[in-house]
Every structure is written in C-alpha cells, then in structure tokens.
Amino acid sequence: MPPYDWNWMAAFLGARALAGIEHFESAADDDGELTQIVYRRTLTVGQGKSAVSGWICWRPLKDKHAVELEISASLASHREEVKKRVSNLLDLDANPQEIAQTLGPLAVDDAGLRLPGCIDSFELTVRAILGQLVSIKMAATFCARLAALCGEPIVTPFANLTLLFPTPQRIAALSVEDLRAIGVQSKRAACLIGIAKAVQNGELPLYSICDVEQGIRQLVAMPGIGAWTANYVAMRAWGERDIFLHSDYLIKQRFPNMTPATINRYAQIWKPWRSYATLLIWNNPNWKP
C-alpha cells in the first residue's frame, strides 16, 4: 500500500549489504530520486538435510505499487516461504495511512518510511551482535569477514553472489580465537558462539515467535546480549512494530536532558507503532520533543 519510500529503504539496506551475499544496483535521476533498484542475495531455506539454497532478486515496480520477485530454480518449491521473507524484509503488509494517523506530526513528511525487517532471524541476530558499539560500515565488514571465514560457497549466475550466510552449526564450531582473528572482540565472539550453540541445540528459539516479550527475555538471558540488542532483534527479525529503543544513543540525543525512563514514558503517545517512531526520529536530526 502506498506511499513507500524506496530511496530510504534502499539506502538503509544498501549500507548494510554483505559482500558475497548481497548486492544492490540502482540508478537515479538528476534530483537524486532512484529510478531503478535491483537487489539480489543468496538464501537458504529450511534446516539440516531439508535445507535448500539458491538466490533471489527483487525490484520495486513503483507505478504498480508492487514488488517483482525472481528466485532460482532450486528455491521454486519454497516459493511461498521466500515471498513471506521478502515481505517481512520490506514491510509490505504495513498500512502507512493508519500508522501516520497515530504518529501525527512525527510522520507528516515521512509517511512512506517502512520498518526494515530481515530475510532470516538468525542472520539478523548475528548482525545485531556484531554491530554493537561499532559503525554501520564496520558491522557490515565484520559480517562479511565472518561469511568469508565460515560461509558455505555457492555457485550463482552473478559474480558478486558467492557465499551463503553462515549457519548456526558453522558458527558454533568456531573458537573465540577464530573470531578474534577477523577483528571481533573476545566477549562479543564468545556471545556469538554461545548464541549459535543455543540455536543449534534448540535452546534459543528465533523463529515463529508468538510471545515477543518472552523472546526478548530469553535473548537478554544470554551472556553478552543487552536490552538494546534484544529489542532491536525483536523490531527487525520478528517484525515487532511497537518497540521504542529509548536507551539508544541517537534517541537519547534527540531527547536532551531526559532520562531513558522519561523518554520511554513520552513515547507512549506513539503506541502501537513505536518501532516506526524510532525510525522516524533516527531519520530526522532536527526533530525535537
């Protein structure tokens, strides 16, 4: 449902694209408006012996308010699952009119802003851990190094798609020293391996989450996972639309002289769309409470 801010979504996902796994192509007019967006990536659907790998490609059809999706023949039998994942990544089920009505002046100039989701919940959790306290560019670099270290190679028709994102099994088999060798700090490396082992053993559910609050509590109980990371995973991996990252550094800058608790109380006015409020405030450096 329109409007949809494709420029913003392409910039958000493009800045986080992982070498070997994802690739963006775009073209813009003289005003900087993107006239063409093409996104490709590798993907695994299923687990264990039933896992199937391949590639996908999507592009927005702006005039038709639709997204064109192409998938490799290897993923054809999982077409509906792939469509579901792409819809989650792009937040295609959102009703921007309803959200903007609740958010009021905050959304008046950005009603087309959508909540970036993910293709895979474990992948997003790994990205969130590696992105703690580093820049977006450095987080993408760490993830790309991790993929180069233990991601499974894949042959595709595209020269820039050569790897699959590492599975929990492959990351669980690493040592802290393996991860330190690619620049990951020791505690973060131990956290990442611990998460991978917990997912591998079925101790930490990351898929088909019905109770988001319980999911957040389970994440926070894992060594090395704080409230910000757990809520960020809930927002993007599970598509939770009512998360407000009140302790986020940038959010706190937008609310000078307020404590995180006070900021959180203020944000109640944006329920049940506080995840979108978080994005809009991130996106607007001139916004003031």
Residues classed as catalytic: 248
Asked whether 203 and 80 are in contact (CB, 8 A), the reply is no
Q: Which two tokens stand for residue 25?
A: 């192509």
Asked whether 120 and 206 are in contact (CB, 8 A), the reply is no
**Amino acid in the structure at residue 20:** G
Dihedrals phi, psi of 280, to nearest 5 degrees:
-65, -40
Cα→Cα distances 77→22, 83, 111, 158, Å: 22, 12, 36, 22
Dihedrals phi, psi of 58, to nearest 5 degrees:
-130, 155
- Tell me the three state secondary structure of residue 81: helix
Helix axes 121-130, 227-236, angle to 10 degrees: 140
Q: Is beta strand 66-71 parallel, antiparallel or unpaired with respect to 22-28?
A: unpaired
Asked whether 46 and 40 are in contact (CB, 8 A), the reply is no
- Tell me the three state secondary structure of residue 66: strand
Asked whether 235 and 278 are in contact (CB, 8 A), the reply is yes
**Neighbouring-strand partners of residue 54:** 43
DSSP class per residue in 123-148: HHHHHHHHTTTS-HHHHHHHHHHHHH
